[in-house]
Amino acid sequence: MTTIITNPRERTRFLKFMVVGVIGFIVDFGTFNLCILAFHAPRVLAGTISFIAAICSNFTWNRYWTYPDSRSKPILHQLVLFTIINAIGLGIRVPILHYLGPVFINLFARLRLPFFTPDFLGNNGSLVVAVIIVLFWNYFVNRYITYNDVK
């Protein structure tokens, strides 16, 4: 973490990683809500599908924009590392969606907020928490394993 604060190159990489994360977040939330609203997929299945869509987007953007100097590794090798690390992130994410979703749904049902259903708010609220937690896992582990050839 200190490196991000003190090293301008690393700070730029982290900011690019965050931009890629925002793009991934849009892909993730869009796919998640499409799966739930259009296909009536269960929350955990929708979260898994949307996570995979975001991985594909994030890998491409990170390899070619955030870490263009990391292409000394073969793409397949990097993709496998990235996928394994993100699969572990999925393992962190799924229990958060499963256990926190109903808690948020009950909370929003009690609040009776206009415009959105408690299910919509609860599902997306649990997804926000999961995305934030997994973001830090993904950044640090990918930086030091997948993109460890970057100086």
Give the span between the Cα atoms of 130 and 91, in whole angstroms.
11
Give the span between the Cα atoms of 117 and 8, in whole angstroms.
44
Q: Check residue 130 and report its DSSP letter.
A: H
pLDDT digits (tens, 9 = 90+) for 68-126: 988 888 999 999 999 899 889 989 988 999 999 999 999 999 998 888 999 999 999 99
Which pLDDT value is given to residue 1?
55
What is the model's pTM? 0.75
Dihedral Cα 64, 35, 130, 151, nearest 10 deg: -10
The mean pLDDT of 135-143, rounded to a whole number, is 88
Domain boundaries, the chain: 2-146
